Amino acid sequence: MWVPLPTTDEFQTVEIKSIDTPVKGVTLEELEYGNKILFLKLGPEDSKKILEIRYQVKRFEKSSYPAGAADSKKHLEPDRLVPKNETFSRIASEIVDGKKGDLVRARAIYDHVIDRMSYIKYGSGWGQGDAVYACDIRTGNCTDFHSYFIALSRAAGIPARFAIGAGIPSARDEGGISGYHCWAEFYAEGKWWPVDISEGDKYSSLATYYFGHHPANRIELSRGRDLMVEPGPASGPINFFAYPVLEIDNEPVKLKANLSFIRNRESQDS
């Protein structure tokens, strides 16, 4: 089993309070994006046992932040489900035609994705972060929205990258979280700019805010796609990493993963 371990950065401070596991695990380093992963070797006797990790997290609102150009170059390269192809090149070229500057061009791509896609989880194929699927079907969830945006941005020569975690409900101070949430960033004018296109689509009055901002009510669990680690899953690189990955006899197995939170309003930790 491989379990994502969120890390501290400029916009979140993460302290692991406890890790309760059936067996002792080891922490692996994923070098491409700097993710940390808890790795466990389990046996039949561990079936139906619970693994629980408790964190204390302090989050800050995220806006554009400076980064070196060298850091951005690798984010022009394709991922397995975010390829480079003629369709993306053609669409991106039409979107940015006549627009000056990568910030303006990225906003045009952002608006295109909102206009073209609908947040609908229907049928099969959605939720894999498949940019070709999103382009063809024009529906999906946050992984599909942002994969399509990243594909078009890269096709336009704008570096873009993926991250995933969970949104913390603002209307209450504790309880379950319905599932993962993901987002993206693009590089322009010497900065990384956060975007959340599926939220901008669902809440049109906040569409301008979500171009360049992420609110504080979320936690980032991992970043990047096609994650490779040693030892890694027999099924290959991890597509994206919000929930634990479990393999039995080298075959992937679905498991039940629950996310919950308690908000500390005195310190604004969650």
Identity at 128, one-letter amino acid code: Q
- Joined tokens for residue 176: 């379950």
Please tell me the distance from the alpha carbon of residue 229 to that of residue 68, in angstroms, as a whole number.
Answer: 26
The angle formed by the CA atoms of residues 244, 247 and 253, to the nearest 5 degrees, is 75
Please tell me the distance from the alpha carbon of residue 74 to that of residue 255, in angstroms, as a whole number.
Answer: 33
Question: Given a cut of 60, is residue 270 above it in pLDDT?
Answer: no
Please tell me the distance from the alpha carbon of residue 166 to that of residue 215, in angstroms, as a whole number.
Answer: 12
Reported as a single tens digit per residue, the pLDDT across 183-231 is 999 999 999 999 999 999 999 999 999 999 999 999 999 999 999 999 9
CATH class belonging to 62-221: alpha beta
Averaged over 129-154, what is the pLDDT?
A: 98
The secondary structure of 20-33 as a DSSP string is E-SS--EEEEETTT
Averaged over 67-71, what is the pLDDT?
A: 74
Please tell me the distance from the alpha carbon of residue 49 to that of residue 186, in angstroms, as a whole number.
Answer: 41
Please tell me the distance from the alpha carbon of residue 243 to that of residue 53, in angstroms, as a whole number.
Answer: 12
CA distances from 59 to 97, 99, 173, 215, 268 (A): 38, 35, 15, 9, 8
Domain ranges of the chain: 2-60+229-235+242-262, 62-221
Kindly report the number of other CB atoms within 10 A of residue 58's CB atom. Answer: 16
Which pTM value belongs to this model? Answer: 0.95
Question: Given a cut of 80, is residue 68 above it in pLDDT?
Answer: no
Please tell me the distance from the alpha carbon of residue 168 to that of residue 181, in angstroms, as a whole number.
Answer: 10
Burial of residue 149, with CB atoms counted within 10 A of its CB: 0-12 exposed, 13-18 middle, 19 or more buried: buried
| Nearest partner of 182 among 17, 4, 10, 55, judged by Cα | 4
Runs of H (alpha helix) within 99-254: 102-116, 131-137, 142-155, 197-202
Identify whether 231 is preceded by a cis peptide bond (ω within 30 of 0): yes
Reported as a single tens digit per residue, the pLDDT across 78-124 is 999 999 999 999 999 999 999 999 999 999 999 999 999 999 998 89
Averaged over 142-170, what is the pLDDT?
A: 97
Q: End-to-end CA distance of the chain, in Å? A: 26
Identity at 92, one-letter amino acid code: A
Reported as a single tens digit per residue, the pLDDT across 7-31 is 999 999 999 999 999 999 999 999 9
Residue 50 pLDDT level (bands cut at 50, 70, 90): very high
Please tell me the distance from the alpha carbon of residue 270 to that of residue 264, in angstroms, as a whole number.
Answer: 6
- The distance of Cα 51 from the centroid of its chain, to the nearest Å, equals 23
State which H helix or E strand residue 71 sits in: helix 69-72
| Nearest partner of 96 among 104, 84, 88, 85, judged by Cα | 104
- Joined tokens for residue 169: 């409900």
Question: Given a cut of 60, is residue 267 above it in pLDDT?
Answer: no
